[in-house]
Structure 1
Amino acid sequence: MKSLRFILLAFLFGNSLSNYAQEPSRMQEVVDIHDEIMPKMSNLVKLINQLQPKVDSTKTGQKHQQAIKALKASNKSMMTWMQGFGERFTADEMMKGKALNEEKKIWLDEEYKKVKALRKEINSSIKKAEQLLEQ
């Protein structure tokens, strides 16, 4: 009975370790989100350029101005986030999986929350601008 229990525990432990090894690291998740939204930055500029001629004193023109403001804020948020992230982590930590100390693990959780909010902000500003241009 003891050997059966031991085998079962060993199996469960080994299984959980293999699942853990297959999960992406938190750093990889942050980098993946960055890599997902970075190509959208050129789209922000394109949308601003498309909206700019439509800005005037009308209600619709002011909506275009608000959309431009949101797109510019999204761009600034991305630049600010990247600068802050780069100041907190080395290239080896970001790209090569170098181990993080306890403080940096806490920072990484903070950065994960920030980059998820950033993704939401960028996607939202793009969606609103595209909807305005479709009208």
Structure 2
Amino acid sequence: MKKTLYFIAIVLFTLTACKNVPTPEEAAIQAQMESYNLLKAEAMNVHDEIMPKMGVLMELKGELVVNEHANELSEVAVASENLKASHDAMMSWMQDYSEKFPYGEPTPDTQEALDQKLPILEQEVKEIVQLKERTMLAIEKARELLKK
């Protein structure tokens, strides 16, 4: 019985001691893969914040058209166009993003693939964050005009 316990202990010790330590290159690729996944999550989180606002954009645009005042015509027209532009930009971003990063596409797992995709993803995140800011400003301005 003692021999069996010693044998099991030696086997377990050997298995845990022989861990595969990643090389610096493997660790760097793993870090970039994690960064890639975080950026994809950020892009989708911002998208998910803005997407529900698309209905608000179109609703406000309709209200602006109905509530046009002669002395505010140019202001209303600009606000209306900004709402439409934000909506159109969101639709374009979603189409562009889904072409570059199709749903279910696995994370690149080689340095070459990461070097190719990571800068594109960084640009997409930058664009969606800017789009969010532009959308929120367009909504705010339209709501201010509707209160007048």
TM-score, normalised with respect to structure 1:
0.75
8 Å contact kept, 1:55–1:62: no
Alpha-carbon distance between aligned partners in 2 of 1:132 and 1:43, rounded to the nearest angstrom = 15
| 1:43 has 2:80 as partner | no
Deviation (angstroms), 1:61: 2.2
8 Å contact kept, 2:64–2:80: yes
8 Å contact kept, 1:54–1:61: no
Residue of structure 1 aligned with 2:107, choices 95, 99, 102:
99
TM-superposition CA deviations, 1:91-120 (whole Å, max 9, x none): 113xxxx21322111111010100001001
Number of aligned positions between the proteins: 108
2:107 partner SS: coil
**Identical-residue share of aligned pairs (%):** 32
8 Å contact kept, 1:51–1:68: yes
| 1:66 has 2:78 as partner | yes
Higher RCO (C-alpha 8 Å, min separation 6): 2
> Aligned letter for 1:118?
L
Gaps of 5+ in 2: 1-33
8 Å contact kept, 2:67–2:146: no
TM-score, normalised with respect to structure 2:
0.68
Residue of structure 2 aligned with 1:53, choices 59, 66, 74:
66
8 Å contact kept, 1:51–1:133: yes
Residue of structure 1 aligned with 2:145, choices 124, 132, 135:
132
Deviation (angstroms), 1:82: 0.6
| 1:87 has 2:95 as partner | no
Alpha-carbon distance between aligned partners in 2 of 1:41 and 1:122, rounded to the nearest angstrom = 9
Give structure 1 regions of 4+ aligned residues with deviation exceeding 6 angstroms.
none
Gaps of 5+ in 1: 1-20
Alpha-carbon distance between aligned partners in 2 of 1:83 and 1:55, rounded to the nearest angstrom = 33
